[in-house]
Structure 1
Amino acid sequence: MTIWQPDPTLIRRPAYLSLADQIARAIHDGHLPHGTRLPPHRKLAYDLGLSVQTVSRAYEELIRRDLVSGEIGRGSFVQTMRREVEPPYLPERLGELIDLSILKPVCEPMHLEELKGALTWLGSNLPSSSGLSFRPNVVFPRHRAAATEWLKLCGLNVPAQNISVTNGATAAMTVALMSVAPPGSTVATEALGHHTLIPLSTYLGFHLHGLPVDKEGILPQALDQACQGSDIRAIFVQPSVINPTAMLMGSQRRSDLVDVARKHDLAIIEGDVLGPLVDAGLSPIAAIAPERTLYYTSFTKNTVPGLRIGYLVAPDRYVAAVANRHLVSNWMATPMVAEIATKWVTDGTAIRLVEWQRDALLRRQAIVREVMGEGSYLTHERALHIWIPLPDNRAEDGFVAQARLQGVAIAPGMSFRTSDAPWRPAVRVSLGSTTENELRAGLGVISRLLISEAEHLLLAI
């Protein structure tokens, strides 16, 4: 059987990485389907005029990218059906690597001091109910009351009984999806959306339908058309800057999406983890369609990562379902962390940290403009990241690998892709996960990679 072969005339230095990029591109383009056996190292080396060591390093790089599996005694095989979806970010920072892969707010020593102070306060003021009770209805009424005040800053005026306190945004999103999307149903979302949705759809048994987007997000007409041929029960959107392309959905687009959702009786899940950080004067979708929108926000992306508490707002029709699914999946949010959140909301610490974050992001965005110029990326002045479409459809995996070899970690755009439609390779770069000096250095590496051929930047093997 004849299979696709690498083109030796396209091999550049470092040869192993160039070869790996060619094979990765062939896998992504469908020329090498799942299960294809790759040529033995020695044969491919002979065919391409390379050393066996070079081919071995290329195969090792493909195994690292989870595109190939090596089986002792049988050979190397294309592996495109992953058992588990890997996160787009590094699970831990390695050595001297500048980690621009993980999305987090800007943090300085004062954030840790704020947390230490809150824990000291908690040691003297912990209510017995927060330490000793198993009953959420005993622990959380006071916290839900504080949540109503915070949600007003997010543009929502909702009764306390419609609010669930959760262990952050991921718990809120999971409970919301469990409440509106039964197994076998379909959830529509942005074609470039939340990376956690992809594994969640597998674990919870619903299907994902990625819809075309423009500079304001999902196209309402595309949603309308999709609803006519699929069992779409809900739509998941991130309209306020936290989405991969950092777009901000305008008021008319929000209203148009609501019209389509009402026409087809869809539930809407609105992820708004930046909350009051994005002070654009736009009403949340939940304020436009309160009867069908489950809205969640949290504190980890706009105050400090350790404050893992979120608020999930549900319409009356879903309140019981949300409460029951929260009980079976989490029982209740961690009471002692909720105590800190409530204290910070009521004494003004939380909004003060949000305002500090706004100023910090303005400085980071200025560094981006200084190093990257204008026009080669997508972002927003309140965004924690930039989205960089790659020029000339350069191989995404190869670009990420080249950045790693230069000491910079970035997130591959493929991790956010929920649709099989053709798309332009891209990467996401976090702005808040390092110091300003490291950010400037990391962006410098990325900028040079964007405008230079890889062989001029990297040493040969």
Structure 2
Amino acid sequence: MTDTIWPPNFDNCTDPKYLVLIQSLRCAVHGGQLPVGERLPTVRDLAWDLGITPGTVARAYKLAVEEGLLETTVGRGTFVAEGRNVPVTDPDPLVTDSQSGDIDLRAVRVPDVGQDGAIRAAMAQTLKDGSRYLLCPDSTTDKVARAAVVQWIGQDIAGRISADDVVLTLGAQSASMIALQSCLHGASPVVLTEEITFPGVRHACRLLRAEVIGIGLDQHGIRPDRLEEALRRHGGQVLMTSAQAHSPTAIHTPLERRQEIAALARRYNVQIVEDDCYAISPTDVPSYRVLCPDRTWYLGSLTKAVSSALRFGFLVPPEGRAQQARHVAQSNFYGVPQPMLDICAELILNGQADGIKRRVLAAIDERVRVAVNILGSWNIRWRPDVPFIWLRLPQGWRGSTFVRACDAEGIRIKSADEYALPDGHAPNAVRIALAPELPVSELQAALETVSRLLSKPPLLNEN
């Protein structure tokens, strides 16, 4: 690629110029040619000096900042970072801790519909069956659980699959990581996803050193024109999406739009990672795994439908790639613990999991009705089977200001900013989870407070 020369030499270089530039930056920083605190040229100045485009320099600088090599300050410039050897981490936790005394409408939790009793009964049954718990799980000992997943997913949701097509994981986030590890390659992989998305996508891409590109949305999900524009500009190896039930917006992508996206994935040779975790109600819209069985990684879990505590997820890779994904999973954690496999298989095969899911859906529907009755006059998006409300704020409110106003009332919600990608666009909106642990009367009172605040925007009152 290049040696430690700084600035880099592009003569006889066959790699993309931004890769040569980032590698030269790495060598120069770690080799001391660019000392801590050294100010680098502006993007335009360096592009002019090197005879390359400003976009190439900007892309390399961005990667260097993400790696902790450089730091940027608005109005001052770009400098070699003091903490260049400290890994860059995402400060936002994926698990939200409740705070005493607050009404927490941030985290999505599963309603309590008797899961504890069902899980304990499944535990007791596995002990009666005389299972042995000594060795690592393998493709023989986890086969019953994989067959149970096929039953759980249902006929044709992910295509005509068998137990051999299923890879078991430690929840959906684990499944996402395995899919990405199976797909991404090269020095600077690119992942495309919705411009506002579940923070786990951001975390996964950062851990895997992948550049993540946000794609614009409309009421039907990812816009094909924006996706194609991003593919032409940035390339891309993977599209991560939640087409059935998107968090945080509750968007459902219809069949015609999915077909357009699938056609682009084929044209540009992109793999699709389809997160179906929130899709716990029946659907007649085929998944991407049905539309593109040769390039779609379908994933889900029991987290949203049965219990978050079980950490039981699954991945259905493209045709012919299950063994590869299984090897990647084994490299990460050897296998899902056998007791958990047995418990979850028992819950699914004896029908308890399906009964819990039906009761969970009924509990979600009840709370969505309460929320829509109170907030229905505002600009909201909702579904009877999704346990949160997406609220676009009226004129006079900004997301961060509204979150603080709710916080002052003892109500915790999430701004759209928390779902935005780095340097990405965030709409003026908030997500409100429907707190199944709260009595309905307390949820109703909290939502009435939210509605009251919405009607008194400070920016308008100042006028």
TM-score higher than 0.5 here?
A: yes
Query: How far apart are the structure 2 equivalents of 1:135 and 1:304?
Result: 22
Q: In structure 2, how many angstroms separate the alpha carbons of the residues matched to 1:227 and 1:449?
A: 41
Identify the residue that residue 399 of structure 1 maps to in structure 2: 402
Per the TM alignment, residue 122 of structure 1 is displaced from its structure 2 partner at its CA by: 3.0
Match for residue 104 of structure 2? 99
**Distance in 1 between the 2:94 and 2:292 partners?**
34
Task: Name the residue aligned to 1:215.
Answer: 219
2:234 aligned residue (213, 230, 235): 230
Q: How does 1:1-20 map to 2 (within 5 A)?
A: none
Q: Percent identity?
A: 21
The CA distance in 2 between the partners of 1:210 and 1:202, in whole Å, is 14
The answer as to 2:376 corresponding to 1:379 is no
Is 2:87 the counterpart of 1:85? no
Residue 349 (1) aligns with residue 318 (2): no
Cα distance between partner residues in 1 of 2:233 and 2:154: 38
Once residues 228 and 120 of structure 2 are traced to their aligned partners in structure 1, the CA distance between those partners, rounded to angstroms, is: 50
* Aligned partners of 1:105 and 1:305 also within 8 Å: yes
Q: What CA distance in whole angstroms lies between the structure 2 residues aligned with 1:290 and 1:305?
A: 29
* Cα displacement (A) at 1:229: 2.1
CA shift, 1:256, in A, is 0.9
* Residue 272 (structure 2) aligns with: 268
Structure 2 CA distance for aligned equivalents of residues 376 and 303 of structure 1: 30
Correspondences of 1:39-438 after superposition (within 5 Å): 83-87=88-92, 91-108=96-113, 110-128=114-132, 131-152=133-154, 155-156=157-158, 157-182=160-185, 183-275=187-279, 277-392=280-395, 394-418=397-421, 420=423, 422-435=425-438, 436-438=440-442
TM-score of the pair, normalised by structure 2: 0.76
3-state SS, counterpart of residue 270 of structure 1? strand
How far 1:91 moved relative to its partner?
Answer: 3.0
CA distance in 2, matches of 1:356, 1:168: 21
Distance 1:88 1:377, change over 3 A: farther
CA distance in 1, matches of 2:418, 2:368: 24
Are the aligned partners of 2:169 and 2:315 in contact in 1 as well (CA < 8 Å)?
yes
Letter paired with 1:174: M
Give the 3-state SS of the residue equivalent to 1:442 in structure 2: helix
Higher helix share: 1
TM-score with structure 1 length normalisation? 0.76
Q: 1:89 to 1:324 in 2, by over 3 A?
A: closer
Task: State the distance in 1 between where 2:431 and 2:198 align.
Answer: 12
Question: Compared with structure 1, are the counterparts of its residues 431 and 88 closer, same or farther at alpha carbon in structure 2 (3 Å cutoff)?
Answer: farther
Matches for 1:443-458 after TM superposition, within 5 Å: 443-453=447-457
Deviation at 1:190, TM superposition (A): 0.6
5+ residue gaps, structure 1, are 1-32, 38-81
Using the TM superposition, give the Cα deviation of residue 337 of structure 1 relative to its aligned residue in structure 2, in angstroms: 1.5
Contact 2:205–2:211 (CA under 8 A) maintained in structure 1 = yes
Which residue does 1:78 correspond to in 2?
none
Residue correspondences, number:
378
Return closer, same or farther for 1:315/1:422 CA change in 2, 3 Å cut-off: closer
Q: Deviations over 1:50-97 (max 9, x none)?
A: xxxxxxxxxxxxxxxxxxxxxxxxxxxxxxxx9533437773222121
Output one character per residue of 1:308-335: Cα deviation in whole Å (capped at 9) or x when no partner: 2111001234323312221121211122
Deviates most, 428-437 or 288-297? 428-437
Question: Contact 1:385 / 1:428 at 8 angstroms: preserved in 2?
Answer: yes
Is the 2:378–2:391 Cα contact (8 Å) retained in structure 1? Answer: no
Paired with 1:411 and 1:87, the residues of 2 have a C-alpha distance of: 12
Is the Cα–Cα contact under 8 Å of residues 246 and 386 in structure 1 kept in the other structure? yes
The one-letter code of the counterpart of 1:326 is A
User: What SS is found at the alignment partner of 1:196?
Assistant: helix
- Helix, strand or coil at the partner of 1:280: coil
Cα displacement (A) at 1:375:
4.2
- For structure 2, the residue ranges without an aligned partner over 5 or more in a row are 1-70, 76-86
Distance between the aligned counterparts of 2:299 and 2:394, measured in 1?
35
Tell me how far apart the structure 2 counterparts of residues 240 and 87 of structure 1 sit (CA, whole Å): 25
Deviations 1:420-447 (A, max 9, x none): 4544222111114432223212212211
User: In the alignment, residue 365 of structure 2 is paired with which amino acid?
Assistant: L
